[in-house]
Structure 1
């Protein structure tokens, strides 16, 4: 159980005071349900952790790629967060949500000229420059406009986080950033400092996702500071901002043991302060980019159980009305989840089954070893926990399945924030070869 999840006297799962079974009946399944009280709690934990470090100025940017909708962006804005966007679409969503553009940070390893133009038009706060091509293009665009923009340089520190290889981003062999040890980063700093239109505020690094230890952050910060003393003296570069990214791990299953949020922040803050003292440097403003750790545990996906298949001596499959189209993570990098039967939440879950999706793929398996009550049957509601990050945002239309609805719940009230797609939505942008008129 996470956040405000409880089991009612009727044996049903309740999320944010709302009966999950009633939510499924009202809004249909699959259904993404977000406990907004838990989202707010996670944000406050980050803010409280930083507030303990009085010597630091800091900024928390919600990494919107984890879950980006108008309602979520507005919620982040209400709590004073900044916003990390990685595409023109995420930028468009942020601006339509009324998010203050000066608090928007634009990431991405292949920003197009159109995307950068939109960012410049909106006068966003910061562009995190990822490569030499972007550095040159942004300078030329700003020169043509007579405009200046604050930037950070994304640095690859050569640090490997202990996580899945698909979500490691700090090691040398990655598409992201300027490598530190081969001179790319130093060259980028030199070029940015000599630009007439780019204002180099500092550096950014991100070592990976779903991280359960602090050593990677310590090593990355130390690697950056090992060059800062030389850069300040030889190139007169004073780092005013250090963005150490995000990637703070969450508890998907009982086997996960993430560190408290405050532990990550304390280690990051203490390491930066120690390195500044050791190198006689001014303490920069510290930025972080949590996404999953704000919304991941707040999300629960509801499904309706369908057909089943028993293979004697091997396993029993139970299929759901969703799958890899609404949660690609298990198929993409073997992510693990836990679930309960929402309408039988008070019954012992002793039967081991495999929860299969409905897509036409053998690999569409959501949970390989799930435990459900013996009485579980077709039509029951399955609740899969901790789906708040990278479920909705990575959803697809494979097999022409419409995307689910999204509901926010708090204090027993449920609000629809994304409508369920219809079949008509699926073909809205299709252009037929010929007009088809059906015969009656």
Structure 2
């Protein structure tokens, strides 16, 4: 708890903070938030709360900015940040490739006919079924992550009669200055092959020995929510060093180098995200310089932005249900969502801001704790948020930077239904992911009163009942 919480008041921010809100977000003269030309109160009335409101124009503009900045590179949108069929179509229409990491994400891509050759398939433990699905669809590149997977994929590709293009994921031993749960470049973690320990070089040798696999490059990802390029520079240096070693040992120059994603976005006014054009210039310069020193042809670079594209495009709208003041301690403002639609605060101690979205409110604020509706003390949406000191039940509160890892990590904890995703653009709104209903919750839940149901009265009485 902040020492100043509920003790000192301060002015409510009069304007929307830079970098935090979608590009089309505005405040009307009456204090109501407007996104994509639509008022928050009107959106809440039509679609209910909580709801994720996604600025389509902003999403497309960010795709275009990455494509322009990395004009001679491959840009893969990292679907794990947020993926649905509509977003997959937008990514395709904006000329970006798509990175998937599970069979479910691949199924989304397949359902809209996303070009298979522009798909990259990640994952540290891909199943046989997932690999078969990738081979069946003709996925352009599969990133191999373990020796077992190399053997498994080689056998499946041979069985399918194809020569699958692969990249070897390398852990370059780079410590990203981020939360340890999303730091993936150091040696002691589950992804990839160790560079320092020699596993990466051995993985390359095994791939080259498999006739059904075609090694096209190396891959590295050092972490997420990163605000400087130093780690990327060190990773590039070490990866180019490995490329040079492979040239000397195997007589080949790999044509591709994927440096992953991980650029941070602003969740509060204290965050300072990097400009994508500057990042592109620095990374290409670093790789070019390292390759010149090593006498290598510069490989085709690839990057994988996810959060950096979708994160700031989306706002979560909540309705306030209760305001509980604990004199001398703090004020809890409870909303109708919480950790089931944003687990990041509890999982990563992530920091967010919020503002009243349905009226101006008092010009002074109490610093409050914005909490959810779940039966957990840790169900916190945002710590230390300056909300007007007259906030009351029925008010709408908006939390920006909700596009990445909110809906994609959402759960049904306490049997709460997951919110919809509403795309807004030019004064029009449409549902791109519908709100779950209680019928959705019960659809997979076996009915014990139904004798034909596997969980019915006869369940467990015979092998047939178990396997039916």
Q: Does 1:13 align with 2:28?
A: no
Could you tell me which runs of 5 or more consecutive residues in structure 2 were left unpaired when the two chains were aligned.
1-15, 452-468
1:165 to 180, 189, 195: 180
Aligned to 2:112: 97
Q: Is the 8 A contact 1:128 1:151 kept in 2?
A: yes
SS of the counterpart of 1:390? coil
Answer yes or no: is 1:64 the counterpart of 2:79. yes
* 2:281 paired residue number: 266
Q: What pairs up with 1:331-370 in 2 under 5 angstroms?
A: 331-345=346-360, 347-348=362-363, 350-370=365-385
> Structure 1 CA distance, aligned partners of 2:174 and 2:224?
13
Deviation of residue 308 (structure 1)?
2.0
Pick the aligned partner of 1:28 from 32, 48, 58: 48
Deviation of residue 345 (structure 1)? Answer: 4.2
The correspondence of residues 299-310 of structure 1 with structure 2, limited to 5 A, is 299-310=314-325
What's the CA shift for 1:412? 1.2
**Which residue of structure 2 aligns with residue 40 of structure 1?**
60
Contact 1:344 1:373 in 2 (8 A): no
Q: CA RMSD in A?
A: 1.2
Q: How does 1:319-334 map to 2 (within 5 A)?
A: 319-334=334-349
1:395 matched to 2:410: yes
Residues in 1 aligned to 2:329 and 2:440: alpha-carbon distance in whole angstroms? 40
TM-score, L = length of structure 1: 0.96
- Note if contact 2:224-2:263 (Cα within 8 Å) is conserved in structure 1: yes
| Cα distance in 1 for residues equivalent to 2:380 and 2:245 | 52
> What is the aligned partner in structure 2 of residue 317 from structure 1?
332
CA-CA distance at 1:74 after TM superposition: 0.6
CA distance in 2 between counterparts of 1:79 and 1:349 reads: 43
Structure 2 CA distance, aligned partners of 1:155 and 1:131? 10
User: What's the CA shift for 1:347?
Assistant: 5.0
Residue 248 of structure 1 corresponds to 263
Runs of 4+ in 1 over 3 A off after TM superposition: none
Q: Which of residues 125, 140, 143 in structure 1 aligns to 2:158? A: 143
| Structure 2 match to 1:54 | none
Counterpart secondary structure, 1:378: coil
CA contact (8 A) 2:135 2:160 kept: no
TM-score after normalising by structure 2:
0.90
- The reply to whether residue 382 of structure 1 matches residue 397 of structure 2 is yes
1:45-82 superposed Cα distances (whole Å, 9 cap, x missing partner): 2122223xxxxx31100000000111111110101110
How many equivalent pairs are there?
Answer: 431
Deviation, 1:348, is 2.5
1:250–1:293 contact (8 Å) kept in structure 2: yes
CA distance in 1, matches of 2:367, 2:174: 39
Q: Following TM superposition, by how much is the alpha carbon of 1:114 offset from its aligned partner in structure 2, in angstroms?
A: 0.2
1:428 and 2:446 are equivalent in the alignment: no
State the distance in 2 between where 1:338 and 1:349 align: 16
Alpha-carbon offset, residue 9 of structure 1: 2.3
- Closer, same or farther in 2 for the Cα pair 1:374/1:346, shift >3 Å? closer
The change in CA–CA distance for 1:381 and 1:145 in structure 2 (over 3 A counts) is same
Partner of 2:272: 257
